[in-house]
Amino acid sequence: MRCQRGAGRIVRRRAGIIISEFKEFHRMERRTPDTGHVSRPGTPAATILLLIVVLPILIGLLGGFPLVTVLGFIISILILQGLAAAAGIGLGFPPFLLIPLMISVAAGIILGIYRICDLFSERSRRVARQIGRIKDLMDRHQALRTYGEFMLVLIMWIPGFGLYGTPVVAWILHWRGLRSILLMLAGWLIACLFVLTMTAGIRALL
């Protein structure tokens, strides 16, 4: 009986978490009256965790790699960013597994940083006002608003800044749609391929 009650409590707790995440994801857009800041539906933490941890682990396990090796590679991506591609080759990951794994982690980080910026803006009227002014400035320069997003591809190449800094820049400049995310992932992919090419060239020389 105690086991059944304990299991029931766990199920109810998990169900509550899922329901709360579902409500958060489908929250309607609202406008804060005194700042003009638009609050968008947030990305559930479960989705971010899925992209950064769960999906990469599944990719690695399907490729026949031990869990410890996959977790080590994920940590190297979080620390080394694009240079982690060389670490992945050293761990034995073939490019056809390494690339989707790194893209999954990068997508989770981008969405996570967007979510953190949203929460910070919602809790700070001063930040919300500044972001509103930037949005007004962007609205007056449609060319920058339309084509400026392509700069995200180049910014993602900056070592030590790209993966964590580019989403912040995109969020501040109101480049927060699917196209912006895809452009950042495209820049990330190019950076990873460059590191892989350099790694292969160095290994060929040795």
More confident residue, 3 or 153: 153
Q: Give residue 180's pLDDT band: very low, low, confident or very high (50, 70, 90).
A: very high
CB neighbours of 128 closer than 8 A, spacing ≥ 6?
Answer: 32, 35, 36, 37, 121, 122
**Which of the residue ranges 14-18, 166-170, 186-190 would you say has the lowest mean pLDDT?**
14-18
Two structure tokens written together for 92: 């034995």
Pick from 31-40, 105-114, 172-181, 187-196: least confident: 31-40
pLDDT > 60? residue 3 = no
pLDDT digits (tens, 9 = 90+) for 110-157: 999 999 988 888 777 776 677 777 666 666 666 676 778 999 999 999
pLDDT at position 42: 56
The neighbour count for residue 197, using CB atoms within 10 Å, is 11
Does residue 38 carry a pLDDT above 60?
no
What pLDDT, on the 0 to 100 scale, is given for residue 15? 44
Q: Which residue has the tokens 């800044």?
A: 161
Position 162 scores a pLDDT of 93
CA angle 130/133/136 to nearest 5° reads 155
Q: Which residues in the chain belong to E strands, given as ranges?
A: 30-31, 38-39
Mean pLDDT of the chain: 80
Mean local confidence (pLDDT), 36-59: 78
Q: Could you state, in order of their start, the residue ranges of all structural domains in the chain? A: 45-205
pLDDT above 70 (res 189): yes
Query: Is a pLDDT exceeding 80 seen at residue 27?
Result: no
Q: Specify whether the CB–CB gap between 187 and 157 falls below 8 A.
A: yes
User: How much is the pLDDT for 8?
Assistant: 45
Write out pLDDT tens, residues 48-95: 999 999 999 999 999 999 999 999 999 999 999 999 999 999 999 999
pLDDT at position 183 over 80:
yes
State the pLDDT at residue 138. 66
| Band of residue 205 on the pLDDT scale cut at 50, 70, 90 | confident
